[in-house]
Structure 1
Amino acid sequence: MSEQAFRFGRARHLIGIAGLPDARRDSVGVIVLNSGLVHRVGPFRLAVDMTRRLNALGYPTLRFDFSTIGDSGASGESQSRVQQIHADADDAMGLLHRHAGCTRFVLIGLCSGAQNAHAVACRDDKIAGAVFMDGYAYRTLGFRIRHYLPRLFNPMRWWRRLTRVRTANEASGGEPVFRVAPLPQSVVRVDFAGMIERGTKLCLIYSGGINTYFNHAHQFRECFGRVMNHPAVSTRYLEEMDHTFVLVDDRKRLIDHVEEWLCRNFPVANAGVPA
């Protein structure tokens, strides 16, 4: 396996690191997207550790910066941000196609990276799979019962609330720092159904770091309905982990799960071949 730095894109404005192992030319390519404004290494080098692990298994990978993030510049095109995301992702797939022969791809994104992966996977038939980490989620009735009921019968919590000075976070409504700007829930449900209908495999991994709006494994189905029971969908709630997977052991467990899902759904021996 060799890692190579590339300047690529329509205006040669994108910067990325590709891992190009000796694999079959039809291997599925794995592309890791930016998490917010964090550049291509990912939070606490999560993207680096993940792509190198997958390289060792034989998967071609690319971690790159979207336009105007990290080391990537602007394309100079007159496009909306959504159009730019789609164009940059297409450039990234083109790079792995030229250098590794990939024709089908798996996108991996955390937080806003999951949002961008969702947008691309909805429209591009080259996307064979997607890993959404702490992506779209909605406060459901089940969430509210699990969140508020234990607090209702906790006298110490009531005493603290009555006696302490409200913090700035409470005054603003207590919204989490890390939050993906939501599409309407009904739209996301339709999007997931459409992805699965096209044969896209989905892996949803949510952490305890977003427990102000997602707090139980049951909430996958509460949010998105019966489509979460489809064989093409894998869900995992990692309650004990924080949003950026700051601990080394947490990152290892996360990567273990992604590796297992990828090897099960896209084994290198026949990766890229539609099921």
Structure 2
Amino acid sequence: MHEQAARFGRANHLTGITGLPSADARSTGVIVLNAGLVHRIGPFRLHVELSRQLNARGFPTLRFDLSTLGDSGASGESLAREQQVRSDVADAMALLRKQAGCSRFVLIGLCSGAQNAHLVAHSSEAVAGAVFLDGYAYRSTGFKLRHYLPRLLNPARVARHLARHVGRRLRAAPAAGPGFQVEFPPQARVRDELTIMLERGLKLYFIYSGGSSWYFNHRRQFGECYGRALADHPGVTVSFRREVDHTYILVGDRRRLLDDIESWLCTHFPQLAPAREARQAAAAT
């Protein structure tokens, strides 16, 4: 495995680290996107460990900073945020295509990185799959029952809730929500975009942690949000890890996550014989 720093992009403004397998590189490249404002190493070096583990299995990787994040500068263009993200990821795909001969790509993102992965996966024909860590989901009736019913049936919890509520009213202070909470797009729009991705043949892996419990609290909630047709689609994999925090701070949690992503990638994007890879690459162009 060989890692190399790269300065690239249409304005030579993006900074990233490519990881190229020593031999038998796959035609599928993996691009890891920023998690919020954290630069390309990821929270607790998550992106570094993930990239190196995937390199060992033959996947070329690129972890990079989007425009104005980390060590990347501005492109100098007047673009809306969504178009800026699309253009930056297109530059990233061009770099891996040039350095490793990749013909298709899998995007991986945590939190806002998952939202950016969704944005690009919906619009780019070069994307063959995506891993969404704490990506989009919506509070369903099932979510509310699972969240509130145990509390209502526990008198001690009810008493604590009332005490907190009265205390806040007396202090006139608003309740604090999770620091990473953002406004999601309309649910119907996300459902339609996921449907389009699956119709194009994308493989999608949705992983929700306990850090997303303010909006997602059970694996079956995915079907409650998007319908059984999406939840049962062979291109969809859903996992809920209630005991894990949002940024995978514990080494054991992080190791299990990396192993699961590796296994998912190897299952859906296996190493093919050279002739077959050439035919697939030609079909993708």
TM-score class, shorter-chain normalisation, is: over 0.9
User: For the residues of structure 2 that align with 1:167 and 1:38, how far apart are their CA atoms?
Assistant: 35
1:33 — aligned with what? 33
Q: Which runs of 5+ in 1 are unaligned?
A: none
Contact 1:37 1:69 in 2 (8 A): yes
Equivalent residues, number: 274
Distance across 2 between alignment mates of 1:3 and 1:76:
28
1:67 matches 2:67? yes
1:122 aligns with 122
How far did 1:210 drift? 1.0
Q: Secondary structure at the match of 1:19?
A: strand
The amino acid across from 2:61 in the alignment is T
TM-score (norm 2): 0.91
1:264 to 255, 263, 267: 267
* Structure 2: distance between partners of 1:75 and 1:167: 47
**Percent identity of paired positions between Structure 1 and Structure 2:** 59
State the SS of the aligned residue for 1:129: strand
Question: What amino acid maps onto 2:235 in structure 1?
Answer: A
Q: Which amino acid aligns with 2:183?
A: A
Please say if 1:213 is aligned against 2:215.
yes
Structure 1 runs, 4 residues or longer, greater than 6 Å off: none
1:108 corresponds to 2:111: no
Higher relative contact order (CA 8 A, sep 6+): 1
Which secondary structure state, in structure 1, belongs to the residue aligned with residue 7 of structure 2?
strand
| Deviates most, 154-163 or 227-236 | 154-163
* 1:232-253 per-position Cα deviation (integer Å, ceiling 9, x unaligned): 1111111110100110000000
Please point out which of 182, 187, 190 is paired with 2:189: 187
Aligned partners of 2:23 and 2:200: how far apart in 1?
Answer: 26
Give 1:47 shift: 0.3
* Cα distance in 2, alignment partners of residues 46 and 259 from structure 1: 13
User: What SS does the corresponding residue of 1:166 show, helix, strand or coil?
Assistant: helix
For 1:131 and 1:23, the matched residues in 2 are separated by 25
Q: Secondary structure at the match of 1:108?
A: strand
Report if aligned partners of 2:62, 2:96 keep a CA contact under 8 Å in 1: yes
Runs of at least 5 residues in structure 2 that lack an aligned partner in the other structure: none
Structure 1 residues 23 and 129 mapped into 2: Cα distance closer, same or farther (>3 Å)? farther
In structure 1, give the amino acid aligned to 2:255: K
Moved more, 35-44 or 154-163: 154-163
Q: Secondary structure at the match of 1:269?
A: coil
Q: CA deviation at 1:25?
A: 6.3
CA distance in 2, matches of 1:13, 1:36: 19
Is residue 131 from structure 1 mapped to residue 134 from structure 2 by the alignment?
Answer: no
User: 1:54 maps to what in 2?
Assistant: 54
- The 3 A distance-change label for structure 1 pair 167 and 32 is farther
Superposition TM-score, scaled by structure 1 size: 0.95
Contact 1:59–1:268 (8 Å) recurs in 2: no
Report deviation, 1:269.
Answer: 3.0
Match status 1:234 vs 2:237: yes
C-alpha distance in 2 between matches for 1:231 and 1:10: 37
Structure 1 residues 80 and 5: CA distance shift in structure 2, 3 A: same
Structure 1's 23 and 189: CA in aligned 2 closer, same or farther, altered over 3 A?
farther
What amino acid sits opposite 1:22 in the alignment?
S
> Cα distance, 1:176 vs. partner?
2.2
The CA deviation at 1:172 is 3.4
Whole-Å separation in 1 of the counterparts to 2:173 and 2:134: 25
Q: What's the C-alpha RMSD, in Å, of the aligned pairs?
A: 2.0
Does the Cα contact within 8 Å between 2:39 and 2:69 map onto a contact in 1?
A: yes
1:109-132 deviation line (CA, Å, top 9, x unaligned):
000000000000001010000000
- Once the two structures are TM-superposed, the CA of residue 167 in structure 1 deviates from its matched residue by 9.0
Aligned-partner residue type, residue 251 of structure 1: R
Instruction: Report the secondary structure of 1:102's partner residue.
Output: coil
Give the letter for the 1:197 counterpart: E
Structure 2 distance, partners of 1:2, 1:163, is 57
